[in-house]
Structure 1
């Protein structure tokens, strides 16, 4: 049980460091609704489950043998994050600065769309790529019994889902929505800039 707790602690600190996943869930919560944000959180947690399975299956060794594959995934992830950032910038520029409209008046995405986008956002997350191919992969014991590996996967998935569901809950409060309406252009623009920065770094970085 001790190895499971150790990995759970490592994963918790990886989760709470802000990144594209965090900003995507918060945007979903304040621009759509709590239920929409929960679907985004579910999509992210499912992606983390996929990454965990890949790590147990030898992701670290695969990238050692096929370094080009990691480069390709990094560039594709950068392009996707850049695309999300551009969409947020377009949203910020399309609304008059002095307009204040209720959150439900914003163009609404379906919950399944947010689930898919949450999944893809985590798959494109540079932190996830580095973390699961290095720290997480080296922390697990690939020779552990199947029952132990299954328990680990379930623990990581639940831990991820609970964390991002909590983020979705907190940022969907009425006060958060009211704050967003006052500064929506700035918030969308700042978040878009963060996504574009992540994307450009992934596309241009060759180290």
Structure 2
């Protein structure tokens, strides 16, 4: 189980490091308003991650319990989506040119408003829901119980808190803008490798199960 958690966490970690709406929300506030509002945005994003992880774990767990055959379907659907994310990240890694510049957001935010922005960025992003559903499918596909899948949620939320919290500190000081574009392609490469491996493993598990 530790090896399965480690591979899953690596994929989620790479996704969190890579460019996306979460990073843009944190960076835009950090650049214009400083550390404190950006950290509240981070706390909202982490809260949203916890919500999606719980919903997908419990929802898919109930589906599999009610319809055991659905696990085989989830292996192909979830594995296919993970492979899609991995291929997309690989293409971004190979693509030449710098990433789009993050624009500062100077609209003043209270602590509550910054937290809500983080929550809404995460919960209104359909890709986040699909990613967490695919991650849960992968964990279920490794014969883990619903409780084991549910236990992974706080790990993902905590790593998001650390990763985006670090970004909040760096962008609020202006350090990250000078170096992020240079290294973001490497982050995309790790993301591609981890999610590609998870997707391929899940699909292969489905193929073996379908043959039996």
The TM-score bracket by the shorter chain reads 0.5 to 0.7
Question: d(CA) in 2 for partners of 1:10 and 1:108?
Answer: 34
2:153 matched residue in structure 1: 153
Output one character per residue of 1:134-164: Cα deviation in whole Å (capped at 9) or x when no partner.
Answer: x212112385273x34541221111111111
The answer on 1:140 being equivalent to 2:139 is yes
> Is contact 1:21–1:44 with CA below 8 Å preserved after alignment?
yes
Shift of 1:4: 1.4
Output one character per residue of 1:178-203: Cα deviation in whole Å (capped at 9) or x when no partner.
Answer: x9xxxxxxxxxxxxxxxxxxxxxxxx
Aligned residue pair count: 137
Matches within 5 A, 1:56-205: 56-59=57-60, 106-133=106-133, 135-141=134-140, 143-144=144-145, 146=147, 148-149=148-149, 151-174=151-174
Output one character per residue of 1:34-85: Cα deviation in whole Å (capped at 9) or x when no partner.
Answer: 01101101100110111100111125959x9xxxxxxxxxxxxxxxxxxxxx
- TM-score scaled by length of structure 1: 0.57
Question: d(CA) in 1 for partners of 2:158 and 2:9?
Answer: 10
Question: d(CA) in 2 for partners of 1:143 and 1:136?
Answer: 12
Where 1:55 maps in the other structure, the secondary structure is: helix
- TM-score scaled by length of structure 2: 0.56
Question: d(CA) in 2 for partners of 1:176 and 1:139?
Answer: 33
Shift of 1:33: 1.4
Where 2:19 maps in the other structure, the secondary structure is: coil
Q: In angstroms, what is the RMSD of aligned CA positions?
A: 3.0
Structure 2 residue ranges without an equivalent (≥5) = 65-69, 71-102, 179-212
2:39 matched residue in structure 1: 38
> Is contact 1:25–1:168 with CA below 8 Å preserved after alignment?
yes
Structure 1 residue ranges without an equivalent (≥5) = 65-91, 93-102, 180-207
> Is contact 1:46–1:119 with CA below 8 Å preserved after alignment?
yes
1:191 matched residue in structure 2: none
> Is contact 2:27–2:167 with CA below 8 Å preserved after alignment?
yes
